[in-house]
Chain A
Amino acid sequence: SQQGEEDPQALSIQEGENATMNCSYKTSINNLQWYRQNSGRGLVHLILIRSNEREKHSGRLRVTLDTSKKSSSLLITASRAADTASYFCATGDGGSQGNLIFGKGTKLSVKP
């Protein structure tokens, strides 16, 4: 069952620009996480934001969470060519099954 839905599906920007990706989900959550995947490789955890948090920062990453709108955004500031990757949001309900449910991802391309 797909929970998160990223938007846009693909994003192309120039180095130095900011990149914003959005994620919408359907049911109540315990937390929302963002992951990054370089082409064909494993996913790497970027940041986790809990349902009682509204904003979180990590280096050049800024994540917001709006539980009333069931949405989150990931902002990458001053992007670099090395940020080129696919970005996924994943929601955890913290329940007994406790799965992480992933969206289909946003493919970000940063041109030098």
Chain B
Amino acid sequence: AQKVTQAQTEISVVEKEDVTLDCVYETRDTTYYLFWYKQPPSGELVFLIRRNSFDEQNEISGRYSWNFQKSTSSFNFTITASQVVDSAVYFCALSLVRTSYGKLTFGQGTILTVHP
């Protein structure tokens, strides 16, 4: 069975600080997708990034960056110069290529609070 672990339950930072959200996953499959979603207080999940298991290249999108390392089964997410609007719950998730694309295994989520 698949498992996604986000060890940090809650993180609190002051605006402009950099913050890294950790994600460790477990699967015996060799082909899979990894995701990060953001859930603001309004409730909807906002898609941030998808990575497939063959692509270990790190990605940067504005203040967001992701570090995918298969050797440690980690897919960490860094927010640079955090802002109050970044306050939300962030979920890391995994789906297998061989199963339904709709079946995501989510981590427990990390509550990020950015203080002014």
A binds B: no
